[in-house]
Structure 1
Amino acid sequence: MTGSRDSLLGAALREARKRGRITQRDAVKGCGISYSTLSRIENGVLPVPSLQVALAVARNVGLGEGDVLRLAGPLASAGSAELADPSIRRVLQDGRLNPDALSALRLTHLRLLASEFSADLGSARPVDVRLAAKKADLTLVPNNGTEARFARQGQCYEFPRGNDSAPLGQRLWGAHGIAHRLIAAESGTIPECHVKKVGSVAEREATYVASRILVPQALLAADLRQRPLPQDPIEFTAALERVASRFRVPTQWASARVAEDKIGELNW
């Protein structure tokens, strides 16, 4: 038998699955384990392979992320040791991560979320938003309204059609909806979009993830290797506009992405 922590987590997954009348085959879709492995986890015979697997199964069966984290317990000893390392332990305050550290980790999390999602969207520039939406299991529906909203339990994103002769807007709306969908899926919630709250954390995060979906890190790096940015200020501005044109994003997005990736390359 596994330890009590794994047994409790396995039992919670089983109870949530049965409440939702979900089969074990459906519960493990996209989770990287077989239904027979899930059966043994639920019955306390096998430990949960990883927190990622537990969270993936939990999303499929409707168990909240908070419940999984509570049952999974504290960080593993290796993770605790890394946070206690003298070179970075100032990120902790009374044993907890300070706000700056949490913000930095959240930003890293969002970058990884976007990068992992964009990994198999192909090498084409610009990124195909319809293909990206399909991968996110999201239907994009431009309408004649002025608001953006999710429908059908978060599986449909309706957004203003705008001017059909300027498809850039629809492209950005689509990426924004996909970003909301990805972020919400991780916590097992239904995505919401409130663009009037443009300064809110949720909207800022969605815009950030959207920019990294449309300008993936690997594609941007390859593009800049082929066409390095010039040093001359005037030529530099023109080059940024060309980057924006190739990826079909606003120049501000291209500038932010180039600046972010260049800062990340600095060797401190």
Structure 2
Amino acid sequence: MREFELPAEMLRRTGQMDALGGRIVLAVLDGDRDTLAEVLNQLSTWDRDHGGWPYHRAPFKMAYRTAAGHASTFLRLAEEKGLSTVDTALDRPRALVEQYAPDSYREQALAHLSAWDRVVEPDVAAVVAVAAVAAALASQKALFPSQEQAKLTLVRQIRRAESESIGSPPQERTDVGDDEAVAFLDELLGGDAGLPHSPSRWGLWEIDMVAAVKRHLLETPASATSAAQRDDLRRRIVAILESAAADLKSRNEAKAAKVRPGGQRTQPKKRKPRKGR
């Protein structure tokens, strides 16, 4: 019996809508206003640019479902870890919409926030709203200590959807290995980055650096990376290093505050035993 197959155009559109939904979440999580506007434009004009969509109802439902799926996954993970989830006032998602959403979608996206997971026939603004909820959850370091790793996971899912949309066989879908990423990281830094040989010994900042490089290589091979892209990626790596150094300094200062000026660690006072009556 022959398996049912979706028409090629429908398969392509489904994959692209899935990918665009993920890219909208990623753009909000990155705090990249320009990329968000560009991806929203791709979403809103996709059907016009690709011969129309025969089903006139809810043309943006697939992108909405993808973003809502990410939000629901992050929400479940947060609840399992006992972390704070989306507050009733939706302050963090609201701030993200106000800061990054294009003017043409901002007010409508804010209106969608109160029922972000219950939009029946979503428009582009509804996708923005639910993406802001997903990004607000994913930005919690208690949920994702490695923010770059969280973004890399999103990019992997996006690339998988894009690959499926053009019918690429599974064996052609590539990932980036640790060795390849570390080699490119060494090249970017002009020498040995000094990472431990085993990834199990990497610190959080090392995981972040490698994840940032992998994310780039998933989108652009090393051989096709321009000088400007190398500079951008190098700046991202330096920012990770600076953040790690600042965090280490803060923790060392906190430890030092518990030590007396003479170098002796403050000890709790011993209680004297009560005398018997």
Query: Larger relative CO (CA 8 A, sep 6+): 1 or 2?
Result: 2
Task: Give the strand-richer structure, 1 or 2.
Answer: 1
TM-score (norm. length: structure 1):
0.29
Higher Cα radius of gyration: 2
Q: TM-score, normalised by structure 2?
A: 0.28
Q: Which has the higher helix share?
A: 2
